[in-house]
Amino acid sequence: MKRGVIGALLGAVLAVSLATGAIAQTVELKVSHYLPPNHQMHKQLEAWSAELAQRSNGRLKLAIFPAAQMGPMPRQYDLARTGVADIAFFLHGALPGRFPLTEISHLPYAFNRGEGASAKALSTAEASGILTELSGKLAAEHEGTKPLYFIATPTLSLFFNRPAVRSPAGMRGLRMRHNGPIASAMLEAWGATPAAIPPAELADSLSKGTIAGMFFNYEAAKSFQMAESVKSVTQLDAAAGTFALVMNAEKYKSLPEDLRKLIDDTTGPAAARKVGAIYDQAEAEGRAYLRAANAEIPELSGAERAAFEELAKPITASFIARVEAKGIKAKPFYDELRAAVGAAK
């Protein structure tokens, strides 16, 4: 009888020990992105890693692989989708046509309130929060992953290796780098010839004159150290680039419930606004960086800005019609996005 009691007690102790061990098990998630280690997104992922480790008592950790160590920029999304990476931060524009509904947010001046002389782009913090709040409508085209948040940077402007261009007429015949099909269409509408060039090759291409300029923003110009190659900026805030932090769907489901909740609590719209605000600060620092390098950044008049905007208008209706022809409800999504932009404070 004593043996039976002792056996039962040992069994109970073993069960508790195994359960405790399961609860205390450390999970390490591989995070991939293509940006350099000095980029604010890499620093933000490091901060998130520290927060997850602290709030989980060391049970949830991130191993971060920057600078395309796990694969080139166009493969970042598929690294997460296929489970090669657990989490990835990627640029939608690197995969043109793959995310047609998300690309609606790339349409000309989609994150602007007002038109022409009165137009003003939302901050990246505001735009990122809005797009993440609409992410339920974008989940289907991010199949195999769980979107954690979206970043929308409505600050894309024209950067040149020559004096500033103040009108579409000044862009005729110039070879310009784009970041996706909509930006390419905008450049064509303004008379330029679009070119697809990876960010890491841009400084060299500008210096050699392979391209005359690019659709870009200030924070990226600083991250990729373009002070010597960029001579001027025509600031239009004409369109947004979008990025997403996504997690492999099966990996997310496999986490213990409390760790899934921790992922949820530290991502979503609030995180998108927080990270977006970091992008806004980086954008201001990037502008100051080019100013310090004597880049010309003229203040366009309302009429000058309106000339660019007017030529880009037909692109919106045309793109929406092409996406609708695929059976995707593009117009309702665009209308909802624009309504949210109009309601933003």
Please state, in angstroms and rounded to a whole number, the distance separating the CA atoms of residues 8 and 322.
69
Report whether pLDDT(209) > 90.
Answer: yes
- The pLDDT-based confidence of 309 (bands split at 50, 70, 90) is very high
Considering only CA atoms, which of 100, 97, 118, 119 is closest in space to residue 110?
Answer: 119
Report whether pLDDT(307) > 90.
Answer: yes
Please state, in angstroms and rounded to a whole number, the distance separating the CA atoms of residues 24 and 243.
34
- Contact (CB, 8 A) for 127 and 156: no
Q: Tell me the CATH number for domain 27-343.
A: 3.40.190.170
Report the pLDDT value the prediction gives residue 12, as an integer from 0 to 100: 47
| Residue-level length of the chain | 345
- Contact (CB, 8 A) for 233 and 48: no
Q: Please give the structure tokens belonging to residue 38.
A: 């000095």
Tell me which DSSP letter residue 143 carries: T
Other beta carbons less than 10 A from residue 163's beta carbon: 11
Report the pLDDT value the prediction gives residue 118, as an integer from 0 to 100: 65
Whole-number average pLDDT of the chain: 92
Report the pLDDT value the prediction gives residue 116, as an integer from 0 to 100: 59
Report the pLDDT value the prediction gives residue 93, as an integer from 0 to 100: 87
Q: What is the pLDDT of residues 117-174, one digit of tens each?
A: 567 899 999 999 999 999 999 999 999 999 999 999 999 999 999 999 999 999 999 9
